[in-house]
Structure 1
Amino acid sequence: MKKIFLSIATLAFLTLSSCVSDNENFNDDIKKSYDVSAESLLSNAQKELTDQLTTPSVNNNPLRYYVQYWAATLYTAESRYNLTTRTIPDTHWTKLYQDVLGNLQTSQQVLEAQTKPSDVADADWQKQQKNKVAILEILRVYTYQILVDTFGDVPYSESLQNPKIILPKYDDDAAIYPLLITRLNAAIAQLDATGKSFDTGDLIYKGDVASWKIFANSVKLKLGTNIADKDAALAKTTIESAYSAGVLLNNANNALLKYASFAPNYNPVFDNLVASQRNDNVPATTLVNQMNDLSDPRRPIFFTPMADGTYVGGVPGGRNSLPYETTYSHVGDVIKKPDAAGVLLEAFEVNFYLAEAAARGFNVGNTAEHYYNDAITKSCEFWGVSAADIASYLANPKVAYATAATTPISGTAGTGTGTWQEKIGYQEWIALYNRSFQSWTAFRRLDFPKLTSHPSSVQAAEGKVPVRWTYPTAEQTVNGTNWTNASQAIGGDKLTVPVFWDTKL
């Protein structure tokens, strides 16, 4: 029996509905093969992808601890980089390969089996189907990049071929990225904004082809940015062509999944902090102190104030003191709203990529300072910061691109003007507060901010903040030969072995 995947709207409807038949055997035909629409499969893939990137669940995604946005109080294992007790890599792997890539692949198979309705012109049908397939392809590229950026070498060329290939080999991560860029180029060329795409099922852009084209070029920009220190020539052509074709520069085009305000489809942050009545995660001193030092206007949004109006964080990886309810600031109420949107890509992020590109001398239409200022502005605007407060923040000599100085997170005064990597790195880290996976990627690419591992972190971290996740335990036991070959190829299945693009300054 095929598994039925439903959109958020459908799930909400069924949750609120009662029985549809008095026949007690109404739903008992367990041998029947139910048809699943391409639209429902797309909805499920988008939600699973966004959930995995958004959730703060220690079973799924503890990266808010890694980039030191949050600190734990009662339970410190995951904040000290323990990935094995809860088999976190297994969950991440399964969700992305099975629940995202698997559903996207099946969605395309459903599309390919469809028959053109008699009332639709052949040309219109071809445009619509090509647009739908291109959108699925763009999301596949986005998802494969996350897998590479998490683990390094991963199954790619032999993935998703069950039952033909049950135990896929792992491909070289450095070889996968150029293939993803090629796939994106093909998908972008296939998109035709004069045609339709998904009438329903697209939870991100509601089938708007022009928006998907902007998103695809922005993902291409992201791919090029990540490889800039490893393959400058490919990065340059990738970034410049993406920019010329049009990328996501304004919040109106942000790739958002809007959660419901009620169970079971509310935002995973609300689910884990409010619905679960868990208030034992607190903002980390690393971020809080940095934002305090800069008088950052996003503080009252990111954190709750103490009784005296100040903001106080907990030590990353530490067993922070009790009572945690009143000893520290907590995650801001706006972040914890049940219907807060999940994010796949947004304007400030793209502007920071362009700032990096301009700093490298690539032709992206403006200066690093221009995009740096735009990135900060777009972040603040997204969170509702006033224009006056944004202007004041950008004028702060510790923030202004021309004068931002080396400012160690320890709080000691810095000397000298920071490098472009440092200036962009610290501000991008702040702006990515609610985007922990992307923040972890930026931290590894730019080598800023400078983060220190807690002394009690797991031995496997070797005294450092991890730069990759170890492979799933299930891969070691089920796909052992290919796991062994991949582990040897990357230099060991370790937390400290970087993915191919992660070169150190």
Structure 2
Amino acid sequence: MKLKALTIATLIALGGCSTRDFLNINTNPNQLPTSTPNFVFTNALNVTATNLAGNNAGNAGQNANELGFYWAGQWSQGNGYIINTAQFAYQFTNGDFNYWDTFYDNLEDYQFVINNADANSQKFLKGPAKVMKAMIFQQLVDMYGNIPYTDALKGASVLAPKFDDQKAVYEALITSLDEAIVDLKANPFTGGFGTADIAFGGNTTRWVQFANSLKMRILIRQSRITGRDSYIKPEINKIVTEGSGFLTGYEASIGGPSFFQPAAGQLNPAYDRWGYSETGAKRALNNYPRPTQFLINTLKMNGDTLRLKRIAYATGGENSNNPGVSTKAEVAANYSGTPFGASSGYLPANTSSVGPSLLVKGDYNRAYILMTAAEVQFLLAEAKQRYSDVTLPNTAQAYFEEGIVQSFRVLGASSTGASAFKGSKVNNYDWTASTDKLAAIAYQKWVALTNFSGLEAWAEYRRTNLPVTPQSVQVPDARRPLRLFYPNTEGGSNTANVTAQGTIDVFSTRLFWDVD
């Protein structure tokens, strides 16, 4: 696993050089990088964003969130490209969707920061690095189930790490986040080192709130497991007692105008992949991801047109002379989705494309979002609805309604549109009128995750089975992937431990939190 380093100044100074080339300062996975923790931490955050949204070598260029958007029923493939049978016919093997290697590579960077922060008088980086480690390990569990955890990230001392039970890893992540919070409170950023933190700019309070929000995600992910309440409720109360709160009114994100630059390899990774080049040329993949017919028609049916106009562009796409605005009039009739998995009949000119909440020409330096405040509010709403006796201060209804407000905000829509749904009698929008409160929360979270967090959307879809999205046009039966195969790279280098996990059937081998 390659450990790399950068500074913002170096990134800018190198101009047209490819970050993918100049960051590879150490090519031996079993030796420490020739850098200091602050440089490695900055680059590790950038790599995290690239793993989720950028062009990943070894994955046929595909990133982890992209797959999630598809399998959550939010995006489909644009016609004009040969249909990807791995994604849309579910014909994949252990040679496909290898996010394992890039994620563990990234984890090695964060582990280096943790191991070397004290010796370099940079203790303030230990807490943030632990938070990021927890997030990535959570994502690995949600894709693969049992994974190396206690034996992982030990370099040459453990070349064949054993696998840990996925439920045990989840519990360990809660403990790790508790430790991260202790580190964060004890070691605030000092001097000018806040510039190394391209997530929160050295704001330790926000790091603690992000840690608490991740804890809620991990806990609620387990909420449908019978008998798990006795573990989840005390942990939620511990978060409340800690007192720092959650992401509220802002997102956990990476980069932004002070980091991403108009040069090759230095753009926001989502913009770079699906949007435009540093010169403003449209990327070849710009027409590839298309909002699904189900997504667009459901938003229309519910009168949710303000968010629709931020999630998607009208047919014909973005007006290159008026960035962020559709070529055609932005009225509901001009928005048309693509059936999930359709390989013909829905050309780019006749269908909507991914909208301004994600892609606007020239907006290359937008921060890349890891977790939205809207997601957090819906986590809190579900927690209060399921466990009325937890010490969360607000009602489930209040959290639910605030989740919709925050979804409008992060999408760039007027929040007054969110308030219009109160008392509207629209199921899954108006709390009082919604007959199934948990279903309403699940639906609103699904909408709120669109264009921002595909991995979470796919995990939540598997956990709740909501909303009931159409099967791929390419698949004649009801089968859907429940997980990924362990990659052949791990099977080749860690054969005995991969084999010990038994036969994996991606259509029937459920993760521990996926009860039905």
Aligned counterparts of 2:460 and 2:92: Cα–Cα separation in 1: 24
Contact 2:382 2:396 in 1 (8 A): yes
Aligned counterparts of 1:386 and 1:452: Cα–Cα separation in 2: 30
Name the SS of the counterpart of 1:344 in structure 2.
Answer: strand
Contact 1:45 1:104 in 2 (8 A): yes
For 1:450, the equivalent position in structure 2 comes to: 468
**TM-score, normalised via structure 1 length:** 0.84
Q: Is 1:152 aligned with 2:141?
A: no
For 2:279, the equivalent position in structure 1 comes to: none
Q: Is 1:351 aligned with 2:357?
A: no
Quote the offset at 1:14 in angstroms: 1.3
Counterpart code for 1:433? T
For 1:168, the equivalent position in structure 2 comes to: 161
Aligned counterparts of 1:359 and 1:425: Cα–Cα separation in 2: 12
Unaligned runs of 5+ in 1: 19-27, 117-127, 405-416
Contact 1:79 1:316 in 2 (8 A): no
For 2:62, the equivalent position in structure 1 comes to: 59
Aligned counterparts of 2:235 and 2:55: Cα–Cα separation in 1: 33
For 2:255, the equivalent position in structure 1 comes to: 257
For 2:119, the equivalent position in structure 1 comes to: 113
Aligned counterparts of 2:509 and 2:197: Cα–Cα separation in 1: 37
Aligned counterparts of 1:33 and 1:272: Cα–Cα separation in 2: 31
User: Are residues 301 and 170 of structure 1, via their aligned partners in 2, closer, same or farther at CA, if it must alter by over 3 Å?
Assistant: same
Aligned counterparts of 2:275 and 2:487: Cα–Cα separation in 1: 30
Q: Deviations over 1:157-187 (max 9, x none)?
A: 1111221111111111011111111121122
User: Are residues 487 and 86 of structure 1, via their aligned partners in 2, closer, same or farther at CA, if it must alter by over 3 Å?
Assistant: closer
For 1:318, the equivalent position in structure 2 comes to: 342
Q: Deviations over 1:448-497 (max 9, x none)?
A: 1112322523x9xx733322111112222332221111135xxx242432
User: Are residues 2 and 256 of structure 1, via their aligned partners in 2, closer, same or farther at CA, if it must alter by over 3 Å?
Assistant: closer
For 1:411, the equivalent position in structure 2 comes to: none
Name the SS of the counterpart of 1:71 in structure 2.
Answer: strand
For 1:497, the equivalent position in structure 2 comes to: 509
Q: Is 1:272 aligned with 2:273?
A: yes
Alignment of 1:163-202 (within 5 A): 163-192=156-185, 195-196=188-189, 198-202=193-197
Aligned counterparts of 1:110 and 1:318: Cα–Cα separation in 2: 50
Unaligned runs of 5+ in 2: 19-24, 277-282, 316-327
Quote the offset at 1:270 in angstroms: 1.8
User: Are residues 483 and 4 of structure 1, via their aligned partners in 2, closer, same or farther at CA, if it must alter by over 3 Å?
Assistant: closer
Aligned counterparts of 2:406 and 2:509: Cα–Cα separation in 1: 34
For 2:324, the equivalent position in structure 1 comes to: none
Percentage identity across aligned positions?
A: 25
For 2:446, the equivalent position in structure 1 comes to: 429
Root-mean-square deviation (CA, aligned residues, Å) is 2.9
Aligned counterparts of 1:341 and 1:83: Cα–Cα separation in 2: 34
Aligned counterparts of 2:188 and 2:301: Cα–Cα separation in 1: 51
User: Are residues 319 and 9 of structure 1, via their aligned partners in 2, closer, same or farther at CA, if it must alter by over 3 Å?
Assistant: farther
Aligned counterparts of 2:37 and 2:498: Cα–Cα separation in 1: 33
For 2:368, the equivalent position in structure 1 comes to: 342
Counterpart code for 1:470? F
Q: Deviations over 1:297-327 (max 9, x none)?
A: 11111111234632110010121325x1211
Q: Is 1:217 aligned with 2:212?
A: yes
Quote the offset at 1:204 in angstroms: 0.3
Q: Is 1:69 aligned with 2:74?
A: yes
Counterpart code for 2:201? K
Aligned counterparts of 1:355 and 1:34: Cα–Cα separation in 2: 44
Q: Deviations over 1:417-442 (max 9, x none)?
A: 2x222101111100100211111122
User: Are residues 320 and 421 of structure 1, via their aligned partners in 2, closer, same or farther at CA, if it must alter by over 3 Å?
Assistant: farther
